[in-house]
Homo-oligomer: A and B are copies of this chain.
Amino acid sequence: MSAIVNDMVIRFANVNGTGSASANSMFSKAIFRMGLPVSPKNIFPSNIQGLPTWYEVRINENGYLGRRAGIDVMVGINPQSFAKDMASVKPGGYFVYDSTKPLYEDMMREDIHFIGIPMMKISMDFFEVPRLQQLFKNIIYVGALAALLDIEMEVIKQIIEEQFEKKPKLVPPNFKALDAGYNYAKEHYDCPLNVRLERRDNVGDHILMEGNEATALGAIYGGATVAGWYPITPSTSVVKAFETHCKKLRIDPKTGKKNYAIVQAEDELAAMGMVIGATWNGARAFTSTSGPGVSLMSEFIGLAYFAEIPVVLVNVQRGGPSTGMPTRTQQPDILSSAYASHGDTKHILLFPSTPTECFEMMADCFDLADRFQTPVILMSDLDLGMNDHMTKPLKWDDNRTYDLGKVYDAEDLEKLEEYGRYLDIDNDGICYRTIPGTHPTKGSFFTRGTSRDEYARYSESGAVYVRVVNRILKKWETAKKYVPKPQMYQEEYKSKKGIIFFGTTTYAALEAMEMFEKEGIKLDAMRITAFPFNETVEDFIEQHEEIFVIEQNRDAQLRSLIINELDIIPAKLIKAVNYDGMPITAQTIMDLIMEKLSVAINN
């Protein structure tokens, strides 16, 4: 059997709370620095310590970044899950385990290779403190893998040096552990294995970053100064990263004081109230949450929609409904976000699919919210937010200025005969607001969630109400021209069949496209990046006869949204859904679509 180079899935089975996360990400980073595309996924329990947790890394030199089923190498460190872990290895694959204690013979499979490394024993030989023995055990298996898979030791060592830049004393013991693991493997096994790595130059200037971190940076670059939030998995790290970066990037150089304010709210309702108060008062503000939080915010979202207040909300989606699968990924909040709140409402959604897009779109959210004076929701998910992704470097155009939308300043007001907060002066549905404190006698108005006339006066007149809500709908039409365009994956259409996808489904979908290509099936592809849908979206659908909409939710919610908003014939849009909480794979997409390809493949 010839060696399989640079194409594998390796899974680490750990116990959570044992410090494995840092060793595991060191592993991924090393491979990434060898010029190889990696795609790591955390599969963790909703608990703090002592339960099985997995870290799965796909390595593929061709740059397929979606998840792939089938495990080539399992690093089984957790006796609790041995049986299950062993069972999940592909025939011919490897099970690397801690051989300090022997494996039960009867657990072992004939069709896979067992590689025992006495990790704990080695660690105990070198280190005395139990906590350190535990920690270095993780480094030991990284060392062993370096030998087994042919990872460059210098690369790992460099990472260790960087990591402990401020605690250089920790470098030597880490090296010692690393070498110990490496040497043990070298001495006892035929290294490298049949599944192995080789340096390439396939990552360009890409970076390896979590979506939530990128979102936080987008908020900083986008000019957010206020954040109100409440902790919830998987969104917590958005505001955490925002704070970490603010502490470096947003300290007033003269006074040492903060050019930002972050308030940990008492709940999600309050978090959204804070955002509304802050943006009403002229700051850029955001909050970040997940499904349950969005449900709790929905009354407030309706207020922002109707009173026309900019809001930026990050929804890092997780498995629903209710508390659902809080540590698993899904895209299940499309409808509840698009139509959040009672009454006739619709909200702008942006769908990033990479950390780079999290960064860019998050910054865009603020411009869109200010321009349209309405809620804008960044629809991320657990997979995107909490896993490292290989992604284009973040870039900022230094000439870019913030689009604060239509705001009258004191000078403007001075010139005005009479100010009317809700006058549609430019006939695009968007009105001019003023910020409290602008002018001593002009421009103040009363904001409310009730019906009001063009001068912001309370009104119970049906005619006035209809005028207002129709104008808000006009604003929606205007928005179609401003939101990001969909991404197309062909110069010109080459098939009557197409696929639509969005967000974290992208990598798997693109990989599936190549698989179809190989099968001789041609499909056109479009990635939705925003709601409302613009003309390009309509055109794609019009030009195709049969379109598969790939989603990670049960009820095919994006499909519903498209049908409803664009008046599409439902039969044209075929559901292709996967909702088990694991990131979707190209194979799943392939299977879902093949099963449904109803007519003979033409062209």
A603: which B residues are within 8 A, CB to CB?
Answer: none
Interface stretch of the complex, out of A18-26, A427-435, A559-567: A559-567
A450: which B residues are within 8 A, CB to CB?
Answer: 46, 322-326
A124 → chain B, closest Cβ, in Å?
32
A339: which B residues are within 8 A, CB to CB?
Answer: 335-336, 339
- Structural contact, B563 and A570, CB atoms closer than 8 A: yes
A447 → chain B, closest Cβ, in Å?
11
User: Which of B320, B327, B462 is within 8 Å of A581, CB to CB?
Assistant: B462
A326 to B299, CA, bound (A): 14
- Structural contact, B322 and A344, CB atoms closer than 8 A: no
Q: Per-residue CB proximity of A365-378 to B under 8 Å, as 1/0? A: 00000000000000
Tell yes or no: A540 within 8 A of B by CB: no
Query: What residue in chain B is nearest A573 (Cβ atoms)?
Result: B567
Take A302-B295, A569-B570 as given contacts and tell me if A460 and B332 are in contact as well, using a CB distance cutoff of 8 Å.
no
A571: which B residues are within 8 A, CB to CB?
Answer: 567, 569
- Structural contact, B302 and A554, CB atoms closer than 8 A: no
Q: Per-residue CB proximity of A411-454 to B under 8 Å, as 1/0? A: 00000000000000000000000000000000000001111000
- Structural contact, A342 and B292, CB atoms closer than 8 A: yes
A478: which B residues are within 8 A, CB to CB?
Answer: none
Tell yes or no: A600 within 8 A of B by CB: no
Take A557-B344, A567-B571 as given contacts and tell me if A325 and B581 are in contact as well, using a CB distance cutoff of 8 Å.
no
- Structural contact, B322 and A460, CB atoms closer than 8 A: no
Take A344-B579, A567-B570 as given contacts and tell me if A322 and B302 are in contact as well, using a CB distance cutoff of 8 Å.
yes
A319: which B residues are within 8 A, CB to CB?
Answer: 343, 451, 465
Query: What residue in chain B is nearest A299 (Cβ atoms)?
Result: B295
Q: Per-residue CB proximity of A571-591 to B under 8 Å, as 1/0? A: 100000001111000000000
Take A295-B298, A466-B579, A563-B564 as given contacts and tell me if A342 and B325 are in contact as well, using a CB distance cutoff of 8 Å.
no
A332 to B345, CA, bound (A): 9
Query: What residue in chain B is nearest A566 (Cβ atoms)?
Result: B570
- Structural contact, A321 and B342, CB atoms closer than 8 A: yes
Query: What residue in chain B is nearest A561 (Cβ atoms)?
Result: B564
Q: Per-residue CB proximity of A446-483 to B under 8 Å, as 1/0? A: 00111100000000101101100110010000000000
User: Which of B296, B320, B341 is within 8 Å of A322, CB to CB?
Assistant: B341
Which of A295, A462, A554: most chain B Cβ within 10 A?
A: A295
Q: Per-residue CB proximity of A340-365 to B under 8 Å, as 1/0? A: 11111110000000000000000000
A332: which B residues are within 8 A, CB to CB?
Answer: 342-344
A348 → chain B, closest Cβ, in Å?
15
Tell yes or no: A294 within 8 A of B by CB: yes
Query: What residue in chain B is nearest A580 (Cβ atoms)?
Result: B462
Q: Write the residues of chain A forming the contact surface with B, with a CB cutoff of 8 angstroms.
A: 45-46, 291-292, 294-296, 298-299, 302-303, 305-307, 319-328, 330, 332-333, 335-337, 339-346, 448-451, 460, 462-463, 465-466, 469-470, 473, 553-555, 557, 560, 563-564, 567-571, 579-582
29 CB contacts below 8 A, A to B, read A45-B460, A46-B460, A295-B298, A295-B341, A296-B298, A296-B299, A303-B323, A306-B321, A306-B324, A307-B322, A322-B343, A323-B448, A325-B450, A332-B342, A336-B339, A336-B340, A336-B342, A337-B342, A343-B553, A344-B553, A462-B580, A463-B580, A465-B579, A466-B579, A470-B554, A560-B564, A564-B570, A568-B570, A569-B570
The 7 A-B pairs at the shortest CB distance, nearest first, are namely A320-B343, A321-B343, A462-B580, A291-B342, A322-B449, A567-B570, A323-B449
Q: A321-B343, A323-B448, A336-B339 are in contact. List 12 more A-B contacts (CB 8 A).
A: A295-B298, A295-B302, A299-B322, A321-B341, A321-B342, A336-B341, A346-B555, A462-B582, A469-B579, A563-B563, A567-B571, A570-B570
